[in-house]
Amino acid sequence: MSALVIADHDNEHLNAATRCTITAAGELGGGVEVLVAGHNCAAVADAAARCEGVSRVLLCDDESCRAQLAENIAPLVVQLAERYTHVLAAATTSGKDLMPRVAALLGVAQISDIIAIVSQDTFIRPIYAGNVLATVQSADSTRVITVRRTAFQSAGDTDNPAPVETVTAAGDSGLARLLEENQTPSERPELTGADVVIAVGRGLGNKEHLDLIEKLADSLGAAIGASRAAVDAGFVPNDYQVGQTGKIVAPRLYIAVGISGAIQHLAGMKDSQVIVAINKDAEAPIFQVADYGIVGDLFTVVPQLIAALNR
């Protein structure tokens, strides 16, 4: 039995979510190999080779893989899949785009967003916005799986890197091409990997008040997140959204500011180690999951908190 992990990367850096996926693959009890498909991505392959538990890295360095379009990567994964009993990827934007295509081409069912491994054919995944945990069993010869990053520890580095071997690309499918890529520059930590997250909700009132949250985030070296209500109101960009239809986070500290705590939002952050809620509504659902709750106006509490931190 062996597992293939599809690396998530930007051709320069290995996404930390892949390290968590490697840990999950290791719990299956067999060998773990990693596929790095991209262009000029040797540094990513070297990083994957140093991950603890990896026995081999397959490097596909080809122009057709530069943008890592699922339409071009999926046929490559299918070509390799017959060697493995499990094919895994992190449940990131890329993984959620790629793996359903792989499963469809292989004619098997995908097992999405697992948070625990019971055995080689049985897995646990959340459903109904995380309110129910489903135990699912697969009889497929190849299990295609996406892994929730926050449920598994990150694989560390080893002093004995795994060998790196090259594989041939499947070529350009011609089905899609990348027209433009826009990135928002920020000195703050990436949301899904931050140790501290400050999240805002509709209680912020308007986007002009965001500078108050930014000052708090700067005091703590934190990333900024938001509820869907705050995103829909235009307070913050879409990529700040935390929740069932946004990003899943599990930082050491999560501070929810002006967030009521709808079930969809809780699904994205309730695994945080310490949750602090600030809300003027004492009956807000967020207080049911919070470790510490402050009932008060955020425009009074947050400045006091910033002042205390700066002291």
- Per-residue pLDDT tens over the stretch 2-30: 999 999 999 999 999 999 999 999 999 98
Residues spanned by the domain of 71: 2-166
List the one residue out of 196, 24, 7, 189 whose CA is nearest residue 113. Answer: 24
So what's the pLDDT on residue 311? 86
So what's the pLDDT on residue 129? 76
Distance CA 92, CA 247 (A): 9
Mark whether 21 and 159 lie in a shared domain.
yes
- Answer yes or no: is 186 within a domain: no
Q: Radius of gyration (Cα) for the chain, nearest Å?
A: 21
- Answer yes or no: is 171 within a domain: no
Total domains present in the chain:
2
So what's the pLDDT on residue 208? 92
Percentage of the chain surpassing pLDDT 70?
100
Distance CA 51, CA 33 (A): 10
- Answer yes or no: is 181 within a domain: no
- Contact between 88 and 24 under an 8 Å Cβ cutoff? The reply is yes
Mark whether 143 and 265 lie in a shared domain.
no
- Answer yes or no: is 37 within a domain: yes
CATH number at residue 291: 3.40.50.1220
- Per-residue pLDDT tens over the stretch 96-105: 999 999 999 9
The mean pLDDT of 265-292, rounded to a whole number, is: 94
Q: Quote the pTM value.
A: 0.86
- Per-residue pLDDT tens over the stretch 62-101: 999 999 999 999 999 999 999 999 999 999 999 999 999 9
Mean of the per-residue pLDDT values of the chain: 94
Mark whether 15 and 162 lie in a shared domain.
yes
- Answer yes or no: is 133 within a domain: yes
CATH number at residue 32: 3.40.50.620
Q: What tokens does 269 get? A: 């952050």
Exposure b/e, 64-87, CB count within 10 A at least 16 = b: bbbbbbbbbbbbbbbebbeebbbb
So what's the pLDDT on residue 187? 79
